[in-house]
Amino acid sequence: MYDIFSLPEIKFPDGFIFGSATAGHQVEGDNVHSNWWALEQAGKVGSLSGKACNHYELYREDVELIKQLGHKAYRMSIEWSRIEPAEGKFNAEAMDHYIDLLERLKQAGLIIYLTLHHFTHPQWFEELGGFQKLSNMPYFERFINYAVPRIAKYVDYWNVINEFNLGGSAERIEFKLNMLRYHARGYHLIKQYSKAPVSSAHAFIHYFPYRRHDELDNIMTGFQDWRDNEFFFHAIRTGEIAFPFKDAEYVPEIKGTADFWAVNYYTRHMVDGRLSGLEGKRFQHKQLKMIPINFYLEEMFPEGLISNIERLKDKPVHITENGCSCDDDRFRIVYIALHLSALHEAIARGVDVRAFLYWSLMDNYEWGSFVPRFGLVKVDFKTFERVVKPSAYFYRDIIAENGLNQAIVRRHIKDLPTLMK
């Protein structure tokens, strides 16, 4: 295990933004008009989200909680399928719900990051072909033109779309490349209503060769990195959609459509050029079993945060997600301590990092399962009771000090967690 008892003291730049993040479908509950709800009902994704954290009803208490935990910022998403449950029929009550939530967050003094699309959209939009079709752009535009002017005054940072950059199937590639254009259109539309910075959150996977000195593994690591990471930054920087096995295309509307880089980072993935799916095994000695199922987050790799965002020196970087799913909350404390230390190192190496938003404020619905628990706050999924975990107090002290030191570490953790067998 990592020795966080010898981490040196760190201080973040003045005005550094600490907070937490959630997403509508994962916390609200009863998101019945969404495409994900339809997939759940069709038995295609594991557990049903049901009432999730019942946040749609308990949002007032949840705002109080965020305040008590000392967070300075909160990232959330609004659900298009609640706002426009049937094509062209807007639900003013759902919009008012979000306005009330945003109003309360503002009154609590929070900086608000708002995502317009976090994996879910209306089932009617899905049935029309969703983002697989560029001809569906007018639906997305209409949603933005309805929602954004109503909430613009509350939002400090926009995310048009969450994490569309991953995946390599033919269908997925078409989707990702379309999404660059949906993102760009969203960017330009938001600008008509808001002066706040706009981006789309990027899922930053650290790709690492399974065999460091094998040429094929290295080539495929570079390939994976371009396929999932660099094509996105490149398109936004230059306007060029350059993707393996495709003719490159220059799309001027895409150029410059990020005012900051919004980065979601969790861990690294190994690349094995001798496997068709390229998914290499992890180093066993680093593998952590923190929850009783197989899950992608089985390794803490904070150094990946440094070396990845180091290529984003051209704009301010906001870490819009970073977090740990574990049953023993001490793993979360270790994870936060290591990742904040890494982030601090990235700042020292010249990256203009402005924010860190922990994923997630509370345990929630992890896209087909309730087993991975990322929350600073424990949620009982039957009673919806919220119980603050020790890591939330640890994080609160970090926020209050704008940094991390041994006094804080030792106040909240006595010994290191051991691994489940």
Query: Which residues contact ligand BGC (rule: CB under 6 A)?
Result: 23, 26, 162-163, 203, 264, 321, 359, 366
Minimum Å distance from CB 331 to ligand BGC?
15
Between 268 and 412, CB nearer to ligand BGC: 268
- Tokens standing for 242? 């350059």
Minimum Å distance from CB 122 to ligand BGC?
18
- The rounded distance, in Å, linking the Cα atoms of 168 and 277 is 9
Minimum Å distance from CB 13 to ligand BGC?
26
Between 208 and 359, CB nearer to ligand BGC: 359
Minimum Å distance from CB 115 to ligand BGC?
9
- The rounded distance, in Å, linking the Cα atoms of 255 and 234 is 9
CB hemisphere CA count around 46 (13 angstroms): 7
**Residues 90, 93, 98, 103, Cα dihedral to 10°:** 130
CB count within 10 Å of CB 233 equals: 19
- The rounded distance, in Å, linking the Cα atoms of 183 and 388 is 36
Minimum Å distance from CB 26 to ligand BGC?
6
Contact 191, 198 (CB under 8 A): yes
Between 23 and 220, CB nearer to ligand BGC: 23
- The rounded distance, in Å, linking the Cα atoms of 254 and 188 is 9
The alpha-helical segments, DSSP class H, found in 166-247 are: 170-191, 215-225, 231-238
Between 117 and 412, CB nearer to ligand BGC: 117
Between 90 and 175, CB nearer to ligand BGC: 175
Between 63 and 203, CB nearer to ligand BGC: 203
- The rounded distance, in Å, linking the Cα atoms of 67 and 388 is 13
- The rounded distance, in Å, linking the Cα atoms of 189 and 198 is 10
Minimum Å distance from CB 296 to ligand BGC?
7
